[in-house]
Amino acid sequence: MSRVSTVSGGRVLPLLSALLLSSTCCGFVFFSGDGRRMTSTDEVGVGTIAASSSTHLPILASSVRNHASSTGQHTKSTRTYNTKADEYYKQFNKLPTPLIMHDNLRKLLSQSTKTNDDYERTNKVLLIGDVHGCLDELKSLVAKASRTYNKGKQFASIVLVGDLCNKGPYSAEVVRYVREQPFWYSIRGNHDNAALEAALGDSDRLAKEKYAWVKQLSDDDVEWMAALPYTIRVPKDLISSDEDVLVVHAGLIPNVGMDSQAINTMLTVRNLTLVQNSEPNGNHTAAIDQYEYYNSIQTENAPIPVAKAWPGPELVIFGHDAKRGIQLEKHAIGLDSGCVYGNKLTGIVFPEKELVSVDAAEVYCPVGGKC
Ligand SMILES: [Mn+2]
């Protein structure tokens, strides 16, 4: 890819205006206007994605998240490479930014056109860790959680912490399956981001065998991935909880507003470092810890797991850290129990806050393996 990315308001606004006028569909898009190419990293890459929402101009209303099944029509596996995301990638050689960075489960459910007539749901919510293409285990986990905690009924909603794909056996199938289930939603993980980039034409990634599966994605799959938000908030009253739940793939920097959280942090952070502990200034102001993304190359201070640093008030549910596995901190719970590495797929049921897991059927990807 040799195209140089130079996005400026002057170039983008006409495009956006045209899209706004011409499109009645496709709710993602459009960009980080800081002129840097947005890429994603397979693992803990630092600083390759650096954009805050202040650089985005969200425009179109989202209808992609109204799943295909809501119309009774299932996806055709066609790929025209002419979706809005494709057009954006061709023009700017970088990923479009989703219209909605931070979504809300109440809003998502209210927008669903699916009705309860189709099957009986309870008011419980199931959140699920990193699936990485493990479709069989995903189905088994949902069935087990339903049996154990929900009298065999459907959950009001299921939300996944991202990394639906890569490494495992059924990446495209998991993307499609999650997309087509009514009342299921996902946020975006670093692997979803990377796979989307491959699907849009990133030649570096497409040269790798491990991204061959992206050719199975349809236009609808790609549009859905391009619309995945970085966080989904679950309001506390939806789950009879004392605190909102905030679902994010990797983590958040404490004491930084949601609109100021860097994309790279939300997708890849595992450790933070304390850079300042502000002293109370005499008027009873509480000290506020300030953290930065811990970069082992640049930082000599001690790494602090992002889950330990998070002070609330929301309960953060995240994945991305299979090496640490399940993490149970006061205000953060990590769900990546390494299914694709042959361990377990784990979810958490609300309002009980009970963990539920199933064993991986096999080791799909050895730790450290090229998959
Ligand atoms: Mn991840």
Q: How far is CA 339 from the centre of its chain?
A: 17
Question: What average pLDDT values come out for the chain (371 residues) when binned by 10 residues?
Answer: 34 35 36 34 32 32 38 61 97 96 96 70 94 98 97 95 98 98 96 98 95 97 98 97 97 97 97 83 70 86 95 98 97 98 98 98 92 86
Rounded CA-CA distance 118/133 in Å is 27
For residue 22, the CA-to-ligand 1 centroid distance in Å is: 35
Q: What is the pLDDT of residue 284?
A: 59
Q: What is the pLDDT of residue 118?
A: 59
For residue 187, the CA-to-ligand 1 centroid distance in Å is: 11
Of the candidates 260, 283, 216, 232, the residue with the CA atom closest to the CA atom of residue 77: 216
Rounded CA-CA distance 153/162 in Å is 24
Cα 36 to Cα 42, 144, 169, 190, 292: the distances in Å are: 19, 44, 33, 18, 21
Of the candidates 53, 96, 41, the residue with the CA atom closest to the CA atom of residue 268: 41
Q: What is the pLDDT of residue 37?
A: 34
For residue 250, the CA-to-ligand 1 centroid distance in Å is: 7
Q: What is the pLDDT of residue 50?
A: 33
For residue 123, the CA-to-ligand 1 centroid distance in Å is: 29
Sorted by where each starts, the structural domains of the chain and their CATH numbers stand as 101-359 (3.60.21.10)
For residue 367, the CA-to-ligand 1 centroid distance in Å is: 14
For residue 315, the CA-to-ligand 1 centroid distance in Å is: 19
For residue 3, the CA-to-ligand 1 centroid distance in Å is: 28
For residue 78, the CA-to-ligand 1 centroid distance in Å is: 28
Mean pLDDT of the chain: 82
State yes or no: cis peptide before 351, omega within 30 of 0: yes
Rounded CA-CA distance 305/327 in Å is 10
Q: What is the pLDDT of residue 26?
A: 39
Rounded CA-CA distance 227/178 in Å is 14
For residue 190, the CA-to-ligand 1 centroid distance in Å is: 5
Read off the pLDDT of residues 106-162 as tens digits, 9 standing for 90 and up. Answer: 999 999 877 655 567 889 999 999 999 999 999 999 999 999 999 999 999 999 999
For residue 269, the CA-to-ligand 1 centroid distance in Å is: 9
Q: Are strands 271-277 and 304-305 parallel, antiparallel or unpaired?
A: antiparallel
Q: What is the pLDDT of residue 16?
A: 35
Read off the pLDDT of residues 30-76 as tens digits, 9 standing for 90 and up. Answer: 333 332 333 333 333 322 333 333 333 332 333 343 333 333 344 45
For residue 304, the CA-to-ligand 1 centroid distance in Å is: 18
For residue 195, the CA-to-ligand 1 centroid distance in Å is: 12
Cβ(329)–Cβ(321) below 8 Å = no
Angle, CA 249 vertex, CA 20 and CA 134 arms, to 5°? 100
Rounded CA-CA distance 238/233 in Å is 11
SS (H, E, C) the chain: CCCCCCCCHHHHHHHHHHHHHHCCCCCCCCCCCCCCCCCCCCCCCCCCCCCCHHHCCCCCCCCCCCCHHHHCCCCCCCCCCCCHHHHHHHHHCCCCCCCCCEEEHHHHHHHCCCCHHHCCECCCEEEECCCCCCHHHHHHHHHHHHHHHCCCCECCEEEECCCCCCCCCCHHHHHHHHHHCCCEEECCCHHHHHHHHHHHCCHHHHCCHHHHHHHHCCHHHHHHHHCCCCEEEECHHHHCCCCCEEEECCCCCCCCCHHHCCHHHHHHCCEEEEEEECCCCCCCCCCCEEEEECCCCCCCCCCEEHHHHCCCCCEEEECCCCCCCCEECCCEEECCCEHHHCCEEEEEEECCCEEEEEECCCCCCCCCCCC
Rounded CA-CA distance 27/61 in Å is 5
Q: What is the pLDDT of residue 117?
A: 58
Rounded CA-CA distance 70/62 in Å is 14
pTM higher than the cut 0.85: no
For residue 111, the CA-to-ligand 1 centroid distance in Å is: 28
Rounded CA-CA distance 8/92 in Å is 10
From the CB of residue 229, how many other CB atoms can be counted at a distance below 10 Å?
Answer: 25
For residue 49, the CA-to-ligand 1 centroid distance in Å is: 14
For residue 5, the CA-to-ligand 1 centroid distance in Å is: 26
For residue 131, the CA-to-ligand 1 centroid distance in Å is: 10
Q: Which two tokens stand for residue 301?
A: 């201070």
For residue 17, the CA-to-ligand 1 centroid distance in Å is: 34
Q: Which two tokens stand for residue 332?
A: 């953060």
For residue 368, the CA-to-ligand 1 centroid distance in Å is: 14
Q: What is the pLDDT of residue 301?
A: 84
